Structure 1
Amino acid sequence: MKLTFNLRRLMQAIEVMEPEKKGTFTLALQETHIDKISAELEQGKDVELKDVEVESGLLSYKGRHVTLYIKANGSSARFHISDCSTLQSMRSSGRFERYVVTNNTSGEFIVDTSYGETKARLKVCQNCLRKLNYKGCNTTTQIGPIVQHFNMVEFFSTYSSFFPHMPSRLAETAKSGYTDDWSKVSSHYRVEKNFECEECKVDMRSHRALLHVHHISGVKSDNRPSNLKALCIDCHSKQPKHEHMALSHSERQTINDLRKAQGLFDVLNEWQELFDYSDPGVHGVLHACQQACLQRPEINYFVEDNFGELAARLELAWPKHKFGIAISSNDIDDARNNGWDVVGINDFLDSYKSKSYNLRY
């Protein structure tokens, strides 16, 4: 990839400072270390099915969120995104096909054909989608359009809170097109808006780095105030064509901690508000709860220990029943140790129809 550097402003700054002696600046090529596993997964790595781990129903390889497919099936193969009934059947029957795991977000997969290896756009496994109730496909939404318009980047971003490592392409924060004075423009705009998110109204003064300035039209060179909007990183990631913005679990929790402290969660009367504020990774659970007519849960709930200290943080909670959903396994264990019944999204979706009837009241 060709990189272009413009050092004009740096040299102008040197002139303004009027140093007694000007130094010399040398630009040298330095190789950066690329994690071996990440590089292998980008290209696709041959594995045995037993080496693929399951985290909350999602597929994982050495801490990396991955998809899986059988290369020998060619362009007719379906790629898997969760530990669905199909994979469970393969595992139990001891099948030994050539499995490939990847976190490449291009949507193209290297498959075997009679003519040799080639790239193909495969379809997502419908059983996997239903396993996760992705976008409500198992409860409230038709699955056909979800399969047809499945977006790999959006999928990885949806579950970014579940994994410490994300595909490198999701870490790309911005494309070219910003003006040279964008840093100054965005800084001044945030000051003018008193560091408040114009979408959810959370005050970000204490975490200013998590407040972005969004170009409404998508044209990054148009810095007119009418085209700008101050958004917390969570609201920014939910804007159209921003699927590449993958937030960490801690970033989402920080935003929701601020919202909670500022009273923005005091009155949430509609299901849509829960979808707007909760981690996207639990939206499948919310779709199921809504369809089953369960009571609306509280979001970002703090479980306290016997001393009134924070013991665990739950993504969704029904305090009356001391029941909740958490993403972190540590939070699940800590909440259970303090008398709560807490499960992950996979356990809930597998059994909610038979075990959560009491949550209706």
Structure 2
Amino acid sequence: MKLSVNFSGLLAAVQLMEPEEKGGFSLEYEPTNIDKLDLELSVGKDVELKDVEIDSGLLSYKGRQVLLYIKANGNSARFHVSDCSTLKSMRSSGRFERYVVTNDTSGEFIVSNGSGRGETKARLKVCQNCLRQLNYKGCNTGSSIYPIVQNFDLNKFFSTYSSFFPHMPQRQAASAQTGYTDDWQRVSSHYKVEKEFKCEECLVDMSKHRLHLHTHHINGVKSDNKPSNLKVLCVDCHSKQAKHDHMFVAHDIRQLINDLRQEQGLLNQLSGWNALLAVADPGLHGAIHACQQFGTKLPDVGYYVGDEFGELVAKLELAWPKHKFGIAVSNHDREEANNEGWNVVSADEFLANYKSQASNLRW
């Protein structure tokens, strides 16, 4: 059906105001840069459990990281973020109930009131089995899970595992002001030059990859441009700062930064587990916490596996070269390394049986 709109009343009102200069007006369709699927996931999409894919132990829907819950369970429902024992049990018993998948990180979910009384919004708790499955923040190898559940932040969780997924979360642009001053681009550029394009956290030289070097406000106040409040950080270090849970970093960017750190000799002498956590992909922190608790040797970060001709075939996020064992995010990297005689697994495969897999990594 053709849409016909009459703006004669509006134009007459403009004439009454006697503008100094007449302007033109046209009604045109302006497409959004938000994918239709992302819009659906932002409000929740009804699916069956069999429709949800598993990617490195995490829940995925058409390449997007998601969480899921059962709307009919009301405000007593728990939302799931990984392929935990609860979901595995439901799948094995054939219980394919209707779920809602979403990438909304507000923490509020639309649930049923019960007895056909409509729907309402409720704040749900995260499934504890999901967090244990991932050893999130070490909750399965030492840290108490109670404060982790109580303070669980979906933005932080999604950003932690952002490099595991090919599609970055898309959000509609906020209408509010960013808070940066009008001269921020100039201030930021000059400060990066002053610091010679080096990250002040990990010391990596980003002069050839300046797009991935940021200027960070230490106190979080974006209008406070005093030099004492500024810090130049690579995007990897920037994403790990407090209150930067909105930053999602792709896998190839994290690999690039560790490639540069490796080339510049910054990964050769890591001083311990905290230093390792600072440079490793945050999605592997659960595996690292398990290694630390079990007492393995400190692994290499950003290790290259070559073929018989010396050609690079795979990049491993964590590696124990002596044992030809490693952990990698990419399926391709795992397959290629295994073809060269290595035993390379994903983070969730490692965590599923880490004591057995890591038994010979203690020496």
Structure 1 position 96, deviation (Å): 3.3
Q: Following superposition of structure 1 onto structure 2, how do residues 40-55 of structure 1 map, counting pairs within 5 Å? A: 40-55=40-55
What is the CA-CA distance between 1:175 and the residue it aligns to?
5.8
- Aligned-residue offset at 1:28: 7.4
User: Cα gap change, 1:65/1:175 in structure 2, threshold over 3 Å: closer, same or farther?
Assistant: farther
Name the residue aligned to 2:254.
Answer: 252
CA distance in 2, matches of 1:139, 1:42: 33
Partners of 2:196 and 2:169 lie apart in 1 by 34
Q: CA deviation at 1:164?
A: 1.1
* Distance in 2, Cα, partners of 1:94 & 1:335: 36
Counterpart for residue 342 of structure 2: 340
1:206, 1:50 → 2: CA distance? Answer: 45
Tell me how many residue pairs correspond in the alignment.
337
CA RMSD of aligned residues (A): 1.8
1:320–1:168 distance in 2 versus 1, CA, 3 Å: same
Contact 2:136 2:286 in 1 (8 A): yes
Instruction: Please report how far the alpha carbon of residue 169 of structure 1 lies from its aligned counterpart in structure 2 after TM superposition.
Output: 3.4
Structure-2 residue corresponding to 1:274: 276
Q: Which runs of 5+ in 2 are unaligned?
A: 1-22
Q: Distance in 1 between matches of 2:300 and 2:47?
A: 41
| CA deviation string 1:239-290 (max 9, x = no partner) | 1111111100011111111111111111012100110000000000000001
Q: Secondary structure at the match of 1:264?
A: coil
TM score, norm. by length of structure 1: 0.90
Q: Quick check: 2:291–2:358 contact (8 Å CA) kept in 1?
A: no
The 3-state SS of whatever aligns with 1:357 is coil
**What is the SS of the residue equivalent to 1:205?**
coil
Task: Give the % identical residues.
Answer: 67
- Could you tell me how far apart the structure 2 residues matched to 1:69 and 1:187 are? 45
Corresponding residue of 1:80: 80
The alpha-carbon deviation at position 25 of structure 1 amounts to 9.9
SS of structure 2 residue aligned to 1:307: coil
Could you tell me the TM-score, scaled by structure 2's length?
A: 0.89
Letter in 1 for 2:51: D
Partner of 1:58: 58
Letter in 2 for 1:254: L
Instruction: Give the counterpart letter for 1:189 in structure 2.
Output: Y
Query: Is the contact between residue 299 and residue 319 of structure 2 (CA under 8 Å) also seen in structure 1?
Result: yes
Larger radius of gyration between Structure 1 and Structure 2: 2
Aligned positions of 1:290-305 closer than 5 A: 290-305=292-307
- Contact kept? 1:153, 1:170, Cα under 8 Å: no
Q: 1:33 deviation in Å?
A: 4.7
Aligned residue type for 1:190: K
Match of 1:21 in 2: none
Q: Is the 8 A contact 1:71 1:100 kept in 2?
A: yes
Q: 2 CA distance for matches of 1:28 and 1:194?
A: 48
CA contact (8 A) 1:64 1:163 kept: yes
Q: Which amino acid aligns with 1:330?
A: H
Q: Distance in 2 between matches of 1:185 and 1:139?
A: 44
* Deviation of the 1:167 alpha carbon: 2.3
Residues 1:133 and 2:128 aligned together: no
- Are the counterparts in 2 of residues 303 and 311 from structure 1 also a CA contact under 8 Å? yes
Q: In structure 2, how many angstroms separate the alpha carbons of the residues matched to 1:333 and 1:26?
A: 57
Superposed counterparts of 1:190-201, under 5 Å: 190-201=192-203
1:218 aligns with 2:225: no
The DSSP-based 3-state class of the residue aligned with 1:202 is: coil
Contact persistence 2:82–2:134 (CA under 8 A):
yes
Deviation (angstroms), 1:296: 0.9
State the distance in 1 between where 2:212 and 2:298 align: 28
Instruction: Indicate conservation of the 8 Å contact 1:157/1:170, yes or no.
Output: no
Matches within 5 A, 1:1-361: 30-114=30-114, 115-169=117-171, 176-361=178-363
Give the 3 Å change call, closer, same or farther, for CA 39–139 of structure 1 in structure 2.
same
Instruction: Name 1:14's counterpart in structure 2.
Output: none
The one-character-per-residue Cα deviations of 1:138-160 (angstroms, maximum 9, x if unpaired) are 00210000000000001000001
Query: Deviations for 1:35-73, whole angstroms, at most 9, x for unmatched residues?
Result: 221111111111111111101100011111100111100
User: Structure 1's 304 and 205: CA in aligned 2 closer, same or farther, altered over 3 A?
Assistant: same
